[in-house]
């Protein structure tokens, strides 16, 4: 990668932070290792450190993306973004290690050498100065943040879906949110006509994805623009078919792919995902919903919760325990495709001809309205053998098929977070330029300039990180990075939308302005598709630490 001279101080500071975070990773890996493997019990004894490390490493990956973007697209604003983001990492890391270096096996001499040299101090001071934030805010206000770094084809896709979001989604978004309505049927039909449900489905099955290669970037671009219009009305519509289609492509039989994928791609069949249980959220190994074999199929029994879009969906992707032995843990789980009629209300009940029943009730939520999330109860609900994902050969593999879908779902969550953040930044910039306080626009004050500049910087960094992870998934890599970008983008979406609301003052708290919706919608990102704490501890930290142990063993 060519590094312009203007970026070299940021790159040097990044490399210094990366070196120390690498040492911190090794220190914690040795503390939680048992026979060359990460011990779950030992990791739990160091949850706070593991959590902090996971977040720090996710930020470091994000920094790598914004630096690469700034190097490709040499513009003053991009350079400012990269410098400020790296400077924040260095400043935060220096603070932690100055006070707690011994806890991480880092000496003060190492901290001084890497993070407190005269050059690094000068870089951080300048990058985080009031003048730097004011320049950044000015460039954002002048439209400098409109470069997404996309190729021509994806830029055309983005513009098309931005028009759709503004013309079709935006006009109904507030009504659906305020009255907790279901997504209007015309929105679902329009999304289907645009091919959105087939974004992750190969062309040979009626989707939009080329047969010879994945295109997760296209999915991210569309998701972001739909979410900018409304997370609940449009941005999340394609998440469930994304998860189910990837699971089918990973483990479905050819007959199942031929049956389900074309209908998912066209929108003829709408899907919901039933994984979470009241006592078991991200801890799928302990799940209790059972699938009991019968001569003509399987009977589902038990309760699922947070099953978004369950009412209107035609099929539920149910993760259930097909092996009654608790010792089987996640290896005893299978995926069942449970069909049902469509329902439009906040509750529903359906009884099969043989007596099996499914009932559900919508959960009241403070945001993310439009799709409705349900508690769902199965009572001897029949699913034929043909609807076991992967056929009988897929029994016990449901967890792995689910994870294939969830990697895409987590990437898509990052894209959804970018869309909501973009809407919030647009609203904040517009309001801050128009609203006058003490005789001048809000945007003219230094603190407001810092907020606006930082909001735009975090958004662009999250977007480029999302795009980079999309490329990794296209190459069948990046499982842990998909969790990293979901973890970090979800966290910052809350800050960005909060500050957008804060800049509106009292009007930000009023439902008259859309910015209040962005804030309550953003809160869900850190909870669904893998709760923040579970992602940090059980996925990011665990996998990164295990990777360090494996590499050390290979090197020796």
Amino acid 530: pLDDT: 78
Report whether 235 contacts 229 (CB < 8 A).
yes
Q: Give percent of the chain above pLDDT 70.
A: 98
Residues 338 and 315: their CA atoms lie apart, in Å, by 5
Quick check: 146 pLDDT over 90? no
User: For residues 478, 483, 489 and 493, what is the CA-based torsion angle, rounded to 10 degrees?
Assistant: 150
**DSSP 3-state of 321:** strand
Burial of 389 (0-12, 13-18, 19+ CB in 10 A): buried
Residues forming beta bridges with residue 363, ordered by sequence position: 373
Is pLDDT at 129 greater than 70 in this prediction? yes
Q: Please, which pLDDT band fits residue 23 given cuts at 50, 70 and 90?
A: very high
Task: List beta partners, residue 381.
Answer: 300
Q: Are 347 and 360 in contact (CB under 8 A)?
A: yes
Give me the residue spans of the domains in the chain: 5-128, 271-399
d(CA 286, CA 333): 10
Residue 366 CA neighbour count, 13 Å, CB half: 8
The sign of the CA dihedral 10, 12, 18, 24 is negative
For range 438-467, the mean pLDDT: 93
Return the pLDDT at 460: 97
The beta strands (E) that lie in 277-346 are given as 290-294, 297-308, 315-321, 333-339
Write the Ramachandran bin of 478: left for phi over 0, alpha for psi from -120 to 50, otherwise beta.
left
**Contact criterion met (CB below 8 Å) for 529 and 409:** yes
pLDDT of residue 141: 85
pLDDT band at 366 (very low <50, low <70, confident <90, very high): confident
Residues facing 37 on adjacent strands: 34
Of the candidates 483, 439, 442, 447, which has an alpha carbon nearest to the alpha carbon of residue 465? 483
Tell me the three state secondary structure of residue 531: coil
HSE-CB for 44 with a 13 A CA cutoff: 3
pLDDT in the model for residue 226: 94
What average pLDDT is seen over the chain? 91
- The answer to which of 227-231, 353-357, 363-367 has the lowest mean pLDDT is 363-367
**Largest pairwise CA distance in the chain:** 79
Check: CB of residue 275 under 8 Å from CB of residue 437: no
Would you state the pLDDT for residue 400? 86
Which pLDDT score is estimated for 283?
56
- Distance between CA atoms of 99 and 137, rounded to whole angstroms? 33
Fold of 5-128: Butyryl-CoA Dehydrogenase, subunit A; domain 3 (1.20.140)
- 307 Rama sector, left if φ>0, alpha if ψ -120 to 50, beta otherwise: beta
Q: Which of 242, 277, 481, 529 is catalytic?
A: 529
Distance CA 1, CA 24 (A): 26
Residue 258: per-residue pLDDT: 95
Q: Which residue has the higher pLDDT, 9 or 141?
A: 9
- CA-based end-to-end distance of the chain: 30
pLDDT at residue 407, rounded to an integer: 78
Which residue's structure tokens are 């099953």? Answer: 307
CB 247 within 8 Å of CB 404:
yes
Number of Cα atoms under 13 Å in the Cβ half of residue 423: 32
> Around Cβ 181, how many Cβ atoms within 10 Å?
16
Catalytic, 339? Answer no
pLDDT band at 434 (very low <50, low <70, confident <90, very high): confident
The pLDDT, as a whole number, for residue 135 is 92
Task: Supply 293's token pair.
Answer: 């074999």
- Say if strands 33-34 and 37-38 run parallel, antiparallel, or are unpaired: antiparallel
- Report percent pLDDT > 90 for the chain: 69
Judged by average pLDDT, the poorest of 6-10, 438-442, 515-519 is 438-442
Strand segments (E) across 364-509: 373-383, 436-437, 440-441
In angstroms, rounded to a whole number, what is the distance separating the alpha carbons of residues 124 and 117?
A: 11
Q: Which residues are 376's β-sheet partners? A: 304, 360
Residues 366, 298 contacting (CB under 8 angstroms): no
Q: Mean of the pLDDT values across residues 23-52? A: 94
Confidence of residue 358 (pLDDT cuts 50, 70, 90): very high
Q: Is the pLDDT of residue 553 over 80?
A: no
pLDDT at 402: 84
271-399 belongs to which homologous superfamily?
Butyryl-CoA Dehydrogenase, subunit A, domain 2 (2.40.110.10)
Strand 297-308 and strand 290-294: the pairing is antiparallel
- Other CB atoms within a 10 A radius of the CB of residue 50 amount to 24
What's the pLDDT at 98?
92
| 414 contact partners, CB below 8 Å, separation of at least 6 | 220, 462, 465, 466, 469, 485, 486, 489, 490
Write down the pLDDT at residue 144.
Answer: 77
Q: Is 187 strand, coil or helix?
A: helix
Q: Kindly tell me the number of DSSP H helices and DSSP E strands found in the chain.
A: 20, 12
pLDDT digits (tens, 9 = 90+) for 403-417: 777 777 889 999 999
Between 240 and 385, the higher pLDDT residue: 385
Q: How many angstroms separate the CA atoms of 274 and 530, rounded?
A: 13
Q: 555: pLDDT confidence band, cut at 50, 70 and 90?
A: low
Beta bridge partners of 351: 357
Residue 488 contacts residue 463 (beta carbons within 8 Å): no
Element containing residue 47 per DSSP (H, E): helix 47-72
Token representation of residue 190: 């329009």
In the predicted structure, residue 556 carries a pLDDT above the cut 60: no
Torsion angle, alpha carbons of 140, 142, 145, 151, to 10:
-170
**φ, ψ of residue 103 in degrees (nearest 5):** -65, -25
pLDDT in tens, 255-304: 999 999 999 999 999 999 999 888 655 556 667 899 999 988 999 999 99
């Amino acid at each position: 990668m060519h590094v312009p001279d203007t970026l070299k101080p940021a790159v040097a500071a990044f490399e210094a932070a990366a070196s120390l975070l690498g040492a911190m990773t090794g220190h914690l890996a040795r503390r939680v290792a048992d026979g060359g493997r990460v011990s779950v019990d030992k990791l739990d004894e160091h949850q706070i450190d593991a959590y902090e490390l996971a977040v720090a490493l996710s930020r470091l990956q994000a920094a790598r993306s914004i630096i690469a973007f700034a190097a490709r697209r040499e513009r003053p604003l991009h350079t400012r973004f990269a410098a400020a983001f790296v400077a924040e990492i260095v400043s935060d890391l220096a603070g932690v290690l100055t006070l707690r270096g011994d806890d991480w096996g880092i000496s003060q001499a190492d901290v001084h050498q890497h993070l407190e040299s005269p050059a690094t101090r000068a870089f951080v001071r300048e990058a985080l100065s009031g003048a730097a934030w004011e320049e950044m805010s000015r460039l954002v206000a002048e439209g400098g943040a409109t470069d997404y770094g996309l190729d021509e084809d994806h830029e055309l896709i983005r513009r098309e879906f931005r028009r759709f979001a503004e013309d079709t989604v935006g006009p109904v978004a507030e009504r659906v949110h305020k009255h907790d309505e279901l997504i209007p049927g015309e929105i679902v039909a329009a999304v289907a006509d645009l091919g959105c449900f087939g974004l992750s489905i190969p062309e040979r099955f009626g989707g939009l994805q080329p047969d010879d290669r994945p295109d997760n970037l296209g999915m991210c671009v569309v998701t972001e623009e739909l979410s900018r219009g409304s997370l609940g009305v449009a941005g999340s519509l394609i998440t469930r078919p994304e998860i189910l289609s990837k699971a089918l492509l990973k483990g479905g039989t050819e007959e199942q792919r031929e049956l389900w994928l074309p209908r998912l791609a066209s929108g003829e069949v709408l899907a919901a995902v039933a994984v979470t249980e009241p006592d078991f959220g991200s801890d799928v190994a302990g799940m209790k919903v059972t699938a009991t074999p019968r001569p003509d199929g399987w009977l589902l029994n038990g309760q699922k919760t947070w099953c978004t879009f369950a009412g209107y969906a035609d099929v539920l992707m149910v993760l259930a325990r097909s092996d009654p032995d608790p010792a089987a843990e996640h290896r005893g789980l299978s995926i069942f495709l449970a069909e049902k009629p469509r329902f439009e209300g906040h509750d529903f009940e359906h009884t099969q001809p043989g007596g099996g029943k499914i009932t559900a009730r919508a959960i009241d939520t403070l945001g993310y309205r439009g799709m409705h999330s349900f508690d769902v109860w199965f009572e001897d609900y029949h699913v034929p053998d043909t609807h076991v994902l992967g056929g009988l050969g897929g029994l016990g593999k449901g967890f792995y098929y689910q994870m294939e879908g969830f990697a895409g779902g987590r990437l898509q969550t990052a894209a959804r977070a970018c869309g909501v953040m973009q809407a919030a930044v647009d609203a904040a910039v517009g309001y801050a330029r128009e609203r006058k306080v003490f005789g001048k626009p809000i945007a003219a004050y230094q603190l407001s300039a810092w907020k606006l500049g930082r909001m735009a910087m975090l958004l662009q960094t999250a977007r480029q990180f999302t795009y980079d992870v999309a490329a990794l998934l296209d190459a069948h890599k990046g499982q842990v990075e998909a969790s990293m970008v979901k973890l970090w983008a979800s966290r910052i979406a809350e800050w960005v939308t909060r500050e957008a609301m804060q800049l509106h003052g009292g009007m930000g708290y009023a439902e008259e302005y859309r910015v209040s919706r962005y804030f309550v919608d953003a809160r869900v990102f850190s909870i669904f598709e893998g709760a923040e704490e579970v992602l940090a501890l059980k996925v990011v930290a665990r996998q990164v630490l295990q990777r360090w142990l494996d590499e050390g063993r290979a090197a020796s």
